[in-house]
Amino acid sequence: MPHFEYSGFNAAGKKVSGAIEAPGRRAVLQKLRSQGIFPTAVNEEKTASPTSQGFSRRLERRVPVTELAAATRQLATLIGAGLPLDEALGTIARQLEHPRLARTLNNVREEVIQGEALHAALTKHPGVFPVLFVNMVQVGESSGTLDQALQRLSDFLEEQARMKGRIRSAMAYPLLMAFIGVGVLFFLFAFVVPKVTRMLEDLDRALPLPTLLLIRTSHFFSQYWWLMLILMLIAALALRSYGRTEKGRMSLDRLALKVPLFGRLNLLVATARFTRTLGTLLRSGIPMLAALEITKNLMENRVLRQALENTADAVREGEGLSGPLRRSGVFPPMVAQMAEVGERSGEMEDMLFRVADAYEHQVELSMGGLLSLLEPLMILFMGTVVGFIVIAILLPIFEASQGMG
């Protein structure tokens, strides 16, 4: 019989975890519900090798958020219209162009036909349906408002996709310019400049300092470009290996929040995601502790994840949300202030959504300001390098022509 590991919260709000033996996930969830446990994660202990498991999970993660959001909204519409769940799943699966998502929904449909609850069927595909998705569906099923829960889920996923799309589209142009600029400079120093400097060396006269610097730089690039590529590859592998350690990942994540220009932007994006996710979960009826646990696991930055873990511990001991957030010193002060207002007014979800809207707007403003600063800096850098090359080449030619005169 399969073994399952679970984690969640009991009726008193205390975090619990353990292992259970059951014929399937549905039986696990039934046992946990009968014990008054609200699960946040249920994972089966598989015998497959870690390599094959990691490969299959990476494949599942390739489902775009936009595809999942569109399918979720369609499912909410069909269920709201009174269509049976299995028929709704089959209809959407036939219309999807993404093969993995269509195949996954067909598998979910088969489980539902066999009597499995929707959220229990979704837990079998953790790479496609995250814990947040499953828990919101579970609450919707329990309260009889599945269509509304799916509607909120689609809104949340679409907003997340829009935020990522804005960032990617805004960064595409400067990244392309940087890539082309570095490629052009590398080509000039490695292949073009050496041919010109050979002509300058044939002048058989003392060369000015800029020309000597250009010649030595071009010689280095033309003869040791392969060494530079190897060193860059070694540095990248070393950084990746360091980032896989707990200490290294924490240091890099801390640096990501403090690096000039981009650090504040990273914090704004993470704060907007945190507040919108937490607000969505609370509005769906998920308890505060479970919502914090789910939100914490969605944070990619370890520093922010640690801050949320400390916040959850404080809430578990009876504190409110605002105090631990303020003491963390990581999130902007406005988050704790609005959380305190929400605690006093009883409108925590609305306050969190307002914070998310405010910081998403700040992200757009910061992106615009960052791009307006990066573009002239890149142009200035390229112009300076090209100008140096032109001056270094023309100086000895001018000196030679004056000597002839």
Confidence of residue 98 (pLDDT cuts 50, 70, 90): confident
3-state helix, strand, coil in the chain (%, to 5): 75, 5, 20
Structural domains of the chain sorted by starting position, each given as residue range(s) with its CATH number in brackets: 3-158 (1.20.81.30), 163-405 (1.20.81.30)
**Nearest CA-CA partner of 287 in 121, 40, 41, 72:** 40
Closest CA to 160 of 302, 64, 283, 243: 64
Residues 195-199: contacts with CB under 8 Å, at least 24 apart = 196/393
Residue 2 clears pLDDT 90, i.e. is over it: no
Instruction: Look at residues 114, 112, 90 and name the one whose alpha carbon lies nearest to residue 102.
Output: 90
Q: Higher confidence at residue 370 or residue 239?
A: 239
Alpha carbons 290 and 280: distance in angstroms, whole number: 12
Q: Is the pLDDT of residue 19 over 80?
A: no
Instruction: State the CB neighbour count (10 A cutoff) for residue 239.
Output: 12
Query: Is the pLDDT assigned to residue 52 strictly greater than 60?
Result: no
Report the pLDDT averaged over residues 234-244: 90
State the Cα–Cα distance between residues 396 and 347, nearest whole angstrom: 74
CA–CA gap between residue 283 and residue 348 (Å, rounded): 9
Instruction: Say yes or no to pLDDT of 404 above 70.
Output: no
- 214 closest CA partner among 25, 369, 396: 396
Question: What is the rounded average pLDDT of the residues 102-119?
Answer: 89
Is the pLDDT at 148 greater than 60, yes or no? yes
Residue 347 CA to residue 366 CA, distance in Å, equals 29
